[in-house]
Structure 1
Amino acid sequence: MTEIVPYSEMYLSGIVEMILSIQREEFQIDITLADQPDLLEIPSFYQQGNGNFWVAVSEEEVVGTVSLLDIGGGKAALRKMFVRKAFRGATHGVAERLLTTLLAWGASTGIDGIYLGTTSAFKAAHRFYEKNGFLEIPASALPPSFPKMAVDTKFYTQTIAAEAAVTPIGGDQRQLWTH
């Protein structure tokens, strides 16, 4: 069973290994850990304001990630959405569960707009985002505070409503979420 949990340092090496292998080996994107210092600073970078970072874990292996970076003004950036190849697709539902967790968190914390950037190589990701209500936008429509990465060539947005909020277990927003 795959579990979606908030980031904990115990997952750091698995997160870094998974993301870099997907970027570099699977999609041949010339990006290094040095190009993504946020991966080594997850609490101070993502878990601030209305942001957070989630990890999909199966039998103690990191199989997916997603994060929400608070960029101010009720807006946030969806970042680091990655799922290991063996855990992709509707059969596993890992990406769907990660996105549902992120959207519920955003709605419950007052985020009303989410933006994301991706590369043209991630075709399945484009279909996934579009299927889940994201609309493609030109880079010029991004908020000035949106953190564009050099490899990003396609951009999306979605408006979320407070009705999408889900109650966190134990009432603490930094804990696990019910689905």
Structure 2
Amino acid sequence: MNVDEPPDLERFAVDIVPFEPQHAGGFAALVVDTLREFGFEPDPVLDQDLDDPVAAYAALWIAIAGGEVAGSVALRDLGGDVYQLKRMYLRSALRSRGVGKRLLATALDWARTNDARAVTLDTAERMVAARRLYESAGFVQVPGGGPPRQGQERLLYELRL
């Protein structure tokens, strides 16, 4: 599946499930397709987590629609009861339908259950809709940011739990 996914993807119910090895190919395709949709190219250093997602993340969930990987969200353990939200991606046909909120809530519920004191994330300046979603969940922009990705500044956000 690529960014030109069939428009009928939106007619399917969406289930959010923990990542399983059989999701690896669909997860990698989702990440690459979404990066390209927003004008980024995969980077062998920044995207090495795709080689072994289970090792890269404390927790990873997949949104399944019509039997296909249609979304994802992950948490990386930064130590000190702080997690970093990663790989929050969703196929365009499912955006603005509450699926992103469900993915985010799944990750934040897990963080709270696991006694996290904060969740951080970084996102590109151009990701306006994603930034609105994070802010609506209580994330606030803080000084700093991740490494620029192909010239695009990264903004750092934090949510105290």
* TM-score range normalised by the length of the shorter chain: 0.7 to 0.9
> Post-superposition shift, 1:33?
5.0
Q: How does 1:96-135 map to 2 (within 5 A)?
A: 96-135=101-140
Query: Quick check: which one's strand share is greater?
Result: 2
Q: How does 1:2-151 map to 2 (within 5 A)?
A: 2-24=14-36, 26-32=37-43, 35-46=46-57, 51-89=58-96, 92-139=97-144, 148-151=146-149
Helix, strand or coil: the match of 1:76? strand
CA distances 1:130-175 after superposition (whole Å, capped 9, x unpaired): 1111001111xx7xxxxx3432511100012xxxxxxxxxxxxxxx
Helix, strand or coil: the match of 2:23? helix
Which AA in structure 2 matches 1:58? A
- Return closer, same or farther for 1:34/1:74 CA change in 2, 3 Å cut-off: closer
Equivalences, count: 146
Provide the rounded CA distance (Å) in 1 between the counterparts of 2:100 and 2:15.
Answer: 12
CA distances 1:11-32 after superposition (whole Å, capped 9, x unpaired): 11111111111111x1111333
Provide the rounded CA distance (Å) in 2 between the counterparts of 1:36 and 1:10.
Answer: 19
Helix, strand or coil: the match of 2:134? helix
| 1:20–1:32 CA contact under 8 A, matched in 2 | no
- Return closer, same or farther for 1:20/1:78 CA change in 2, 3 Å cut-off: same
Structure 1: tracts of 5 or more residues without a match:
143-147, 161-179
CA RMSD of aligned residues (A): 1.4
Provide the rounded CA distance (Å) in 2 between the counterparts of 1:60 and 1:100.
Answer: 22
- The alignment-based identity, stated in percent, is 30
> Post-superposition shift, 1:45?
1.3
> Post-superposition shift, 1:122?
0.7
